[in-house]
């Protein structure tokens, strides 16, 4: 996700999560950069562009990753959140499998 593409609501939600209660352009610019970095990192772990606008593991991990980045503790993020990262990867793979088998079944019935 590019900095300029980050929805205002996501920025507001991340600010709430990391307990930023003040309005400051420099802080918002830094937060945009952290959100962009966290989304790129998590997209690479998820194997695709993930949905950070709806509740779920990608959104939760984004919030936490931004918190760790902000606190200069990204080196321990993956260790602390490994189980959730793996759960997110598994969820995505199961969803892909279900979608592919559903598509194959639909294609098989179309030829009948």
Q: Work out the percent of the chain whose per-residue pLDDT is above 70.
A: 95
Q: What is the C-alpha separation between 64 and 67, in angstroms, rounded? A: 5
Domain residue limits at 37: 7-110
Rounded to whole angstroms, the Cα distance separating 92 from 94 reads 6
Q: Is residue 1 part of a domain?
A: no
Tell me if 24 is assigned to some domain: yes
Distance CA 40, CA 5 (A): 13
> What is the model's pLDDT at position 109?
61
Number of structural domains found in the chain? 1
On whether residue 11 sits in a domain, the answer given is yes
> pLDDT, tens digit, for every residue of 50-79?
999 999 999 999 999 999 999 999 999 999
Asked if pLDDT for residue 107 goes beyond 80, the answer is no
100 part of a folded domain: yes
Specify if 88 maps to a domain.
yes
The answer to whether residue 111 scores a pLDDT higher than 60 is no
What confidence tens digit (pLDDT) does each residue in 4-16 have? 899 999 999 999 9
């Amino acid at each position: 996700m590019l900095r300029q593409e980050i929805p205002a609501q996501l920025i507001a939600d991340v600010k709430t999560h990391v307990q930023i209660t003040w309005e400051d352009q420099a802080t918002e610019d830094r937060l945009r950069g952290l959100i962009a970095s966290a989304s790129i990192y998590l997209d690479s772990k998820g194997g695709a562009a993930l949905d950070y606008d709806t509740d779920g593991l990608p959104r939760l991990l984004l919030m936490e990753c931004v918190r760790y980045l902000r606190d200069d503790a990204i080196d321990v993020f993956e260790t602390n959140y490994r189980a959730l990262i793996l759960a997110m990867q598994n969820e995505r793979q199961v969803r892909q499998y279900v979608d592919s088998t559903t598509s194959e079944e639909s294609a098989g019935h179309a030829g009948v």
